[in-house]
Amino acid sequence: MQLCGSDILVKTLIEQGCKTVFGYPGGQILNVYDSLYKYQNEINHVLCAHEQGAAHAADGYARTTGGVGVVISTSGPGATNLVTGIATAYLDSIPMVAICGNVPTTQIGTDSFQEIDITGVTLPITKHNYFVGRVEDLADTVREAFRLAKSGRPGPVLIDVPKDVQIATCEYEPKPPVEKDAPFAAKDVRIKEAADIINAAKRPFVYFGGGVITADAQDEVLSLAERIDAPIGCSLMGLSAIPTDHPRFLGMQGMHGHFASSMSMHNADVILSLGVRFNDRVTGNRTKFATGAKIVHVDVDGSELNKTVNSVCGLRGDVKLTLQKLLPLLNEGKKPDWMARVNAFRAEEEGYLDKREGLTPRRAILTLNKHLGANTAVCTDVGQHQMWAAQNLNFKTARRFASSGGLGTMGYGFGAAIGAAYGTGERSVLVTGDGSFGMNLNELATAVRYSVPVVVVIMNNGVLGMVRQWQTLFYDKHYSNSILERKTDFAAFAKAFGADGEAVATPDALDKALERAFETEGPYIIDCKIDKDEFVLPMLPPGGSMDDIITKLEVEL
């Protein structure tokens, strides 16, 4: 059938199985919005307060569903507002398709009103991007964008569609949704090599990241650890893949990771690394990182092998399929000495836990845990609260945690939590700080308008806590521009936007507030007062090694 470009675009999105998309209209995307109006019974568009929030919402939707998140914006500032959202998705390998309008092709390159070279701008933060110059190419470009976004190591793809291409017509032929490229296992010879190394290990450690969630390989990870009697740790991006209370799971590793997890990894003789990329926040000083360990590294992206740390065995392939082939080659066996050492690390960690009374950050998260259902998605912003959440949340189900790991985007959380609520069809939770929340709190308007159930817990300490922590430790307590001194009344703010909220100062009050929040129809804000000098511990100082780990605060405040 003959259709105009904007109809073809929306029809192709529907064809790809998009149920909900996020975005914001404007001059050069009006035709697409006209088509969204026309097909509103088949595709739901959520109007956000800002394109950045919309991009994060598409990201939160993608993380919680495992599908591709879609965000739509106009040209120029609409497109540049997406940039942080796209970069966030890129650094965390989240499948996303961003669609921007642009000025008509005849005006491209003339600095027209609201013209920006968005394919140029997003070149380094997308897997690929497209400028669609002909309506005949539009449908297949959208299809290829979806295939790329979800294949291999997922990531964002941008499509720039000039207005005249949205208006022009051509023949549209419906097609079935594109499949991602078939995943493949690593080469047999490498798998055999890996098996030999693991079979010879006396102190194996299984370390996994976001790649395991992408590949849906949590069962294989558990079977493997069980078979070789190894403890399991993960990166921030791996959180939620394995239930927190699993007896083999030591939690997150890295700069603010669990002591037992970091120590076990540091003392392992073989680290089986699955879908991780050894970011500097994980390794600290790379020359001192796990010096006694042989690293076996499985990743679907070959460029991650030997990128930052050298592995003795690099396996390029899908984690799930590779582990399925690896498992039968591994000897079953108990390692009581090693597990005793791991348990000793655990006991030591228990001693470091913050057990103070009152509304401490840890107690706040533990209180929140009591209210979380197995399907509740928790999103965070970036900073101290993010680490407290990562350390103390009780994860039950994979894909129920969304946090900006790679880019570290303050302001990510609210949009993501809205996207997560749509993705799961359930109430979501945002754990944030007063600094991060201040960046994109405009999205409360979105949550109110669509009555999106988001429980917002603001860890409010009146300062940029993580910046302050570094200033305390490394900058002679020069609190340069990290004291907010704002007079924001978050409960009143909630009311002004048409929501409800309250401030709490004790664990008991937080508990009751959460009860109310989880019964509220739309969003609910809890302003949780905590002290400005709370620290995230343990801490591996930047560029440090496990010998430098800070487990107790010995700074005079």
> Of the listed pieces 39-47, 305-313, 335-343, 523-531, which binds other proteins according to CB under 8 A?
305-313
Q: Using the 8-state DSSP alphabet, how is residue 125 labeled?
A: G
The answer to whether 547 and 260 have CB atoms below 8 angstroms apart is no
- The residue from 42, 107, 114, 396 that is catalytic is 114
* Nearer of residues 309 and 514 to other proteins, judged by Cβ: 309
Q: Quick check: 507 binds other proteins (CB under 8 A)?
A: no
Q: Quick check: 522 binds other proteins (CB under 8 A)?
A: no
Contact with other proteins (CB under 8 A) among 6, 31, 65, 119:
119
| Binding residues with other proteins: total (CB under 8 A) | 14
Q: Quick check: 305 binds other proteins (CB under 8 A)?
A: yes
| Residues between 307 and 326 that touch other proteins (CB under 8 A) | 307
Q: How far is the CB of 463 from other proteins (least distance, A)?
A: 34
Instruction: Find the DSSP H helices in 314-456.
Output: 319-326, 336-352, 361-369, 384-392, 413-424, 434-439, 444-449
Q: How, if at all, do strands 524-529 and 454-460 pair?
A: parallel
Q: How far is the CB of 149 from other proteins (least distance, A)?
A: 11
| Residues between 128 and 147 that touch other proteins (CB under 8 A) | 128, 131
* Nearer of residues 128 and 532 to other proteins, judged by Cβ: 128
Three-state helix/strand/coil letters over 158-217: EEEEEHHHHHCEEECCCCCCCCCCCCCCCCHHHHHHHHHHHHCCCCEEEEECHHHHHHCC
The token pair that represents 496 in the structure block? 């002004």
φ, ψ dihedrals at 18, nearest 5°: -70, 125
The answer to whether 56 and 416 have CB atoms below 8 angstroms apart is yes
Residue 269: count of CB within 10 angstroms of its CB: 16
Identify whether 546 is a catalytic site residue: no
Identify whether 497 is a catalytic site residue: no
φ, ψ dihedrals at 431, nearest 5°: -100, 125
The rounded distance, in Å, linking the Cα atoms of 107 and 514 is 53
Q: How far is the CB of 320 from other proteins (least distance, A)?
A: 21
Q: Quick check: 100 binds other proteins (CB under 8 A)?
A: no
Question: Going residue by residue from 53 to 92, which x/- string records binding to other proteins, judged by CB under 8 A?
Answer: ----------------------------------------
> Of the listed pieces 117-125, 228-236, 278-286, 326-334, which binds other proteins according to CB under 8 A?
117-125
* Nearer of residues 145 and 330 to other proteins, judged by Cβ: 145
The rounded distance, in Å, linking the Cα atoms of 468 and 508 is 28
The rounded distance, in Å, linking the Cα atoms of 135 and 106 is 14
Identify whether 466 is a catalytic site residue: yes
Of 108, 158, 170, give the one whose Cα is nearest residue 134: 170
Q: Quick check: 124 binds other proteins (CB under 8 A)?
A: yes
Contact with other proteins (CB under 8 A) among 11, 50, 56, 127:
127
Contacts with other proteins by CB under 8 A lie at: 119-120, 123-124, 127-128, 131, 148, 301-303, 305-307
Residues marked as catalytic: 51, 113-114, 163, 466
